[in-house]
Structure 1
Amino acid sequence: MSGCDLNGLGVLVTRPAGQAGPLAASIRQMRGKPTFFPGVVIEAVEHGRLVSALSSMTPMDLAIFVSPTAARLGVPPLIEKFGSLDGLRVAAVGRTTAAELEKLGLTDIIVPDSSSGGEALAGCLQLGQLANRKVLLVRGEGGNDVLETALRKRGANVWLFECYRRCLPGADFGAVEPLLRDGRIGAWMATSGEILDNLLRLAGEHAALLRNTPLFVNHPQVAVRAFSQAVKVIFVTSGGDAGLSAGLCTWFCEPRASMS
């Protein structure tokens, strides 16, 4: 981000493997030092199960993608099933997901303006016009039910397409612990409640180091969850990698009034 100098600040980047590159590049551009520690492992659902799940599906009126992974793993089997997604209304829960959909050739994507998450998307969709419409919700196994519930309450016929599963990483937190202890990591990020929970669980007896390090999240619900788990300093940013980068810049680069 132009004009922002993190002056070597270490930032713990916890996005899943394969999704952290752009955010890390932004941190480096601001002269920060990203450290990778994926907070969740993504596993694709077997192709045969995806084919079976789509076998009885007819064309939808709207497809909603809840994450970049949902876009990356959900679009190809849908194109395989229907041949093309031309004419299908498409929505994304945030800017990062919308960017992934655009990489896959989709356009005119409905996306919340300033926030991210199912609640934000529900707020910008014309839910009153979805009664009796067929809505495809593309997500991971056991995903958040907030958006699904909101759609069903408006009378939408919701079909779930669960194309991946999220797993607890097997990584050793011991590599991160000394970096937190001696201040070489001065901020960390969690873009979902699951990542937050996993990091604190993996930290084990060292979880206090995370709780005492400024946390950056891009959704109010994750902030509430972090507060309930005794994280001391929580900064809620706008959506996407750009929002997280701007949050770091605001907290560490811009003057702040002293807090009593």
Structure 2
Amino acid sequence: MTTPLAGLRVVIGRPREQAARQLQLFAEAGAEVLALPLIDIQPPLDPLPLQHAAAQLATYDLLILVSPSAVDMAMPRLLQGRDWPATLQVALVGRGSAAALRRWLAVEPLLPQSGADSEALLQLPELQSLPGKRVLLLRGNGGRDLLADALRQRGAQVEIVEAYRRALPCVDLSPLYRQGLTALLLTSSEALTNLLQMAGESRRQSLQSLVIFAIHPRIADYARNSGFGSVMLAEGGDAALLTAVCDWFAARKKA
């Protein structure tokens, strides 16, 4: 077995429930792999809106799940005690969400072939004109309104429901301060915000040696603006992210 990442420490900042596949892939590639969930995924403070939406599921034309967390936190409630409505179309943001949905439901969702954000989803032909369509958008607390606003402009009746809550985790950051080359994989800007908050000003400088791999330009820009000098942009799929890290590490060893 080849181990192209031998000598590299890889820290995976995804929520714990979503990190298993990345942990396996990077360990098989020879990296020292650590799970350090920088976002804690919790149920919504008020469960009633999701319960009500689940009870009315058959009345919607389109269900949008904006993240793997939305899928994993909402699907048990949506599937509880009912068959899946045959006419309900599902749309997803990102391949991670698609992988999560496959664990719960055998449907063919609307999914951008390139891009893993609301902007990419809004480019799909099926979402260009939605007069009178009822849309259920499931997301976490404090999500962006871009998607809902755009769909309303296209004629849809959009109901936003909080399926989960993102919270500051309680984790040990000491692996990030160890000597040696460390790559940190980030799938959201909020994960970096939490990291900096937990580290505090006294430790912030110690984090600057991390090599950040971000899956979206918005996350990469935020990392650079936060003072990180080594920021790499990678695609969001697990295999694509692994390839990006391997390519960067190989080039670094040749330099």
TM-score over 0.5 for the alignment?
Answer: yes
1:234 aligns with 2:231: yes
Alignment of 1:20-39 (within 5 A): 20-39=19-38
Partner of 2:121: 121
Q: Which moved more, 1:87-96 or 1:75-84?
A: 75-84
One-letter amino acid matched to 1:248: V
Give the 3 Å change call, closer, same or farther, for CA 86–209 of structure 1 in structure 2.
farther
1:53 Cα deviation after fit: 4.9
In 1, Cα distance between equivalents of 2:95 and 2:83: 26
In 2, Cα distance between equivalents of 1:5 and 1:118: 34
Q: Considering only aligned residues, what root-mean-square deviation do their CA atoms show, in Å?
A: 2.3
1:12 aligns with 2:11: yes
1:10 Cα deviation after fit: 0.2
Partner of 2:193: 197
CA contact under 8 A between 2:130 and 2:154: conserved in structure 1?
Answer: yes
Q: Calculate percent identity across the aligned residue pairs.
A: 34
Q: Which moved more, 1:78-87 or 1:190-199?
A: 78-87
1:76 aligns with 2:76: yes
CA contact under 8 A between 1:92 and 1:111: conserved in structure 2?
Answer: yes
1:245 aligns with 2:242: yes
CA contact under 8 A between 1:186 and 1:214: conserved in structure 2?
Answer: yes
One-letter amino acid matched to 2:99: A
Q: Which moved more, 1:206-215 or 1:220-229?
A: 206-215
One-letter amino acid matched to 1:139: R
One-letter amino acid matched to 1:202: M
**Secondary structure of 1:161's match?**
strand
One-letter amino acid matched to 2:193: D
Q: When the two structures are superposed, what TM-score results if normalisation uses the length of structure 1? A: 0.88
In 2, Cα distance between equivalents of 1:233 and 1:160: 37
CA contact under 8 A between 1:114 and 1:238: conserved in structure 2?
Answer: no
In 2, Cα distance between equivalents of 1:97 and 1:30: 24
**1:96-120 alpha-carbon deviations (Å, 9 max, x no partner):** 1001111112321111213211111
One-letter amino acid matched to 2:24: A
CA contact under 8 A between 1:177 and 1:206: conserved in structure 2?
Answer: no
Partner of 1:164: 164
One-letter amino acid matched to 2:109: I
Give the 3 Å change call, closer, same or farther, for CA 201–58 of structure 1 in structure 2.
same
Match of 1:216 among 209, 213, 217: 213
CA contact under 8 A between 1:41 and 1:168: conserved in structure 2?
Answer: yes
Give the 3 Å change call, closer, same or farther, for CA 255–43 of structure 1 in structure 2.
closer
Give the 3 Å change call, closer, same or farther, for CA 51–122 of structure 1 in structure 2.
same
**Secondary structure of 2:191's match?**
helix
Gaps of 5+ in 1: none
Partner of 2:103: 103
1:209 Cα deviation after fit: 3.0
In 2, Cα distance between equivalents of 1:52 and 1:115: 32
One-letter amino acid matched to 2:76: P
Gaps of 5+ in 2: none
One-letter amino acid matched to 2:242: S
Aligned length, in residue pairs: 253
